[in-house]
Every structure is written in structure tokens, then in C-alpha cells.
Amino acid sequence: MDYLEVANSTALFIIVVIVLAMVAAQAVLFIRTAMKRGYELGMTKESMGKTITNSAVFSVLPSLPIIITLLAMMPALGKYLPWLRLSVIGSAMYESMAADTALTTLGYTGLGDPSVTKEAFLSVVWVMSLGIMIGPVLNTLFLKKYDTTMKGAMKAGGFISVGLGSLFLGFLAVNTVPRLLNFGDPVGQCITAVSGGSAVLLNYIGKKAKIKVMSEFSFPLALIIGMASAILLTKIFA
Amino acid sequence: MNDNEQAAIDYSNKIHKLGRITTLMVIIALVSVPVLLGIIFNLKVDFGATFAAFLACFALFGPAGAVEFFSFAPIFGAGGQYLAFITGNIQNMKLPAAISNVASSGYENGSPEADVISTIAVGVSSLVTMAILILGLIMGSFLLPFLQSPVLAPAFNNLMPAIMGALAIPRFFSNPRGAVGPCLLSVALLLTLGRPWYMKYNTYLIPVFLITAIAWSYVLYKMDEKKKIH
């Protein structure tokens, strides 16, 4: 597996660190620019600080399983490529599938095939990098025009501004209703209901009893309760 | 044009300029990874085979990426969209972070304040994931037994039901009229298309639901107008 010389090389490590530093710098720049705009709009440091804490707390749990994919991909793809790929653009599912698809198309059995050459590894890097680039490319080319059109529609008022404000309900329905109605997976159904019910209750009790932490962090707290209930429910339904 | 409108235009221009420049820089940086590896290690790829592999991958994920671009921009706002599409994990992390924080902020969806909240939420989520992965790289072998523990496995295996339940159900509760249209559509599609098809092509169904949400809000708007007249 001589391609691992390339995959675990110091050169790749340095390149990956530079790329990830750029991505982190982009996030920091956007946060700072948004906060400056927030102050202009009369938003308080407290309200924006709450968003920072809430988002940070929520993001920890869904990020942890990505470590499993990172460690699973490292024996086949080296230490640094999975680290880069899982930190940017795609998801754990995309990166595993992209690497495997690339290798099988190139004539190998898939991830873990010991006969992969350095050139084939480089091909995999190309495919993983370009295969999911469409989102950022479309953002660069068309997002400004699309955003300006939508802002114009919102300004026009009427049902369009209400409609655009309700779009997220469509996204929530497409992903949540099937889970609530999945009678083939009663554990999943119950978890969806438990975490949803917890969020409603935490918000209600927090507001009534004036316990700010409960209402303001109802989402990440409900997520933890939902995940904890998964452990109990799996034992009950097993 | 008043000062507020001018400030809004200035901010929009700034975010799009920042978004386009930084996104282009990151695209170039990502493409430079294989380019530099090829130069440093003097490797030449089989262009035909690599292109075929790229097409196979693009066929699977490209169309979904385009659908996500159109579907999520109105929900994220410009700042959140630029960031989310660079760091990925959109439906399981960035969208929930944006939606939950805008909802709990009390600001109206689509308002300038909601845009600010969404951008901050997505940016912070991106940084946290990057930090967790650095932790994974350094302490992976120490963390793995915990992460793969059979006791905790059901919790990690059921992340999406827990996220969607905690995110969606409070929103449905607080706006049942608005939610009922898209929810009924979901039921109808599950019954007509069947669960396997629905879940496989879930991303392609999203625009259908977004259009339904807008159409449904039109119906409710007209009903409310009639009530006002009477």
C-alpha cells in the first residue's frame, strides 16, 4: 500500500492545515460581519451570544459520530484526507460513498483494497474534491441574483413574504412526518415524539417558571433527552 | 431611499462580496490539494478513468446539490448559505442550527435579524465540527471505545429522529395552520409513493414541499383576507 506514503505525508498534512485554516477564517469573518450588522440593527450582545452558545452546544452531539467515520476511513485513505474531507463540504455518508465509488470505477474492489496505487489515490482525491463542488460553485455564480430576487419578493409584502417565511415548515415536514409515521421503526417514532415533546415542554416550563436556560436551550436539551430515550427505548423494544 | 434601506443594501453587498471571494478561495484551495500532491510526488493520473469516476460520483450527488442550493437559500439567508455549503452536513446540522436559533430568537423568518442569527449559528456550528474533528484526529483511539460503545450506539444511531423531533414538533405546535398543508402532503406522498421511494429521493422532494408551503400560506392568506372583509 505504497500510496499511504502520499496519504500520510507531511506535505499533505501542511496543505490540509492551510485549507482548514482558510475555512475556519471564513467562518470567523462571516460571524464578525453578521454581528456587526446585528449591532446596527439594534440586536444585543446577549441575544447574539445566546445564538453562539446554543449553536455550539447543539453541534457537539451530531459531530461526535463523524469521528467514527474519520477513524474508519483512516486505515484506507491515510490520516489527513478523511480529516480534510469530513471538515469541508460533504457529509460522512458522501465521503465514504465518493471514495468507494471512485475506487470501484477505477477498477479496485473499494476502500481498503491493498493494490491501490499512488496514482489511483490521487484520482480518488480529485473525485472526492470535485464530486460535490456544485453547491459552492452555484453559490458563487448565482446566489447574489437569487437572494436579491427573494429579498425583492419579501419587500413586496403580501402572501409572498409570509410564504417565504414559512418555507422551513416544508423542510421540517418532509423529514419529520415520515419518522413519526414509521410504524416499522417504533423506536425511531418514539424518539421523534419524545424529543419533540421534550422541546415543547422545556420551552413552556422555562417560560412559565422563568428559567431562561430551559427555554433558550430547549432544542439542544431536547436532543439530549431524545438520544437518552433511544438507549432506554431500544432495550424496551428489543 | 432611507438610511435603513441603504444599510440593508450595503450589508447584502458586503456579504455577497465576502461570500463569493472566500468561497472561490476555498474552491481553489480544495482543487489545489490534488494539484499539489501531483506536483510534489510527481504523479500523473489517468484522466479518462478519473473523469469517469468523477461522473459516477457527480451523477449520484450533483443533482441533489443543485436542488439543495435552490431549496435552502431562502431558509439560510445569504450568509448562512455561503458558509453551510462550504462545511457540509447541511440537513443534519447546519439547517437545524439555523432554524432552531432563528425560532428561539423570536425574530421573523426572512427578517434582517433572522439573517444575522442564521449566519452566526451556521458559522459557529462549522467551527465546532472542525474542532471536534481535530479532537478526533488527536484522541481518536481514546474516544473510539466510548463512541462505539453498545450502550451508546442506539443514541448515535437515532440522531436524525431526535434532531428532527426536537426541531419540528415545537414549530408545528406554534403554527399548526401553517404546518398542516406540508404535513398532509407528506402523508399523501408516503401513501402513494411508498416509504422506500420517498426516503431514497427525499432531497428531490424538498422543493415540492417548499412550493407547497408557499402555496398553502397563500390559501391561508386568502382565508384570512376573507375573514377581515366579513
Amino acid letter, residue A217: F
- CA–CA min distance B192, chain A (Å): 13
Which residue of chain B has the CA closest to A172?
B168
Q: What is the mean predicted confidence (pLDDT) over B151-166?
A: 90
Annotated domain spans of chain B: 3-163, 175-230
Whole-number pLDDT of residue B134: 94
Query: What angle (nearest 5°) sits at the alpha carbon of residue B217, between those of residues B216 and B221?
Result: 120
Q: What percent of chain B has pLDDT over 90?
A: 60
- Asked if A233's CB is within 8 angstroms of B30's CB, the reply is no
Among the ranges given (A46-55, A155-164, B18-27, B132-141), the one the predictor scored with the smallest mean pLDDT: A155-164
Cell of B99: 432554524
Task: Please state which of the ranges A48-52, A150-154, A222-226 shows the lowest mean pLDDT.
Answer: A150-154
Q: If you measure CA to CA, which chain A residue comes closest to B208?
A: A170
The DSSP 8-state label assigned to residue B18 in this structure reads H
The 10s digit of each residue's pLDDT in B83-126 is 999 999 898 899 999 999 999 898 988 889 999 999 999 999 99
Residues A148-199 have pLDDT tens digits of 998 888 777 666 767 777 888 999 999 999 999 999 889 999 999 999 999 9
Q: Smallest Cα–Cα separation from B170: which of A61, A195, A64?
A: A195
Interface size A-B, in CB pairs within 8 Å, comes to 525
A158-165 vs A134-156: helix crossing angle, rounded to 10? 140
- Grade residue A23 by pLDDT with cuts at 50, 70 and 90: very high
Neighbours of A195 (CB within 10 A): 30
- The grid coordinates of residue B16 equal 455577497
Is residue A102 predicted with pLDDT exceeding 80?
yes
pLDDT at A24 over 80: yes
Q: What is the pLDDT of residues B55-87, one digit of tens each?
A: 988 888 888 889 999 999 999 999 999 999 999
Q: What is the CA A117 to chain-centroid distance, rounded?
A: 32
Report residue A187: phi and psi, to 5°.
-65, -50
Q: Is the pLDDT higher at A164 or at A127?
A: A127
For chain A, domain boundaries:
3-132, 166-237
Asked whether the predicted pLDDT for residue A1 surpasses 70, the reply is no
CA dist A37 and B16 (Å) reads 14
Residue A143 predicted with pLDDT over 70: yes
Average pLDDT over residues A57-71: 90
Arithmetic mean of pLDDT over chain A: 89
Percentage of the residues of chain B whose pLDDT score is greater than 70: 99
pLDDT per residue over A25-40, tens digit each? 999 999 999 999 999 9
- Could you tell me the CA-to-CA distances from B120 to A13, A33, A55, A114, B101 in Å, in that order? 29, 9, 8, 44, 9
Q: Which residues of A touch B143 (CB under 8 A)?
A: 67
Judge whether A49 is closer than 8 Å to chain B, CB to CB.
no
Q: Cβ separation of B22 and A176 shorter than 8 Å?
A: no
The grid coordinates listed for A41 are: 440593527
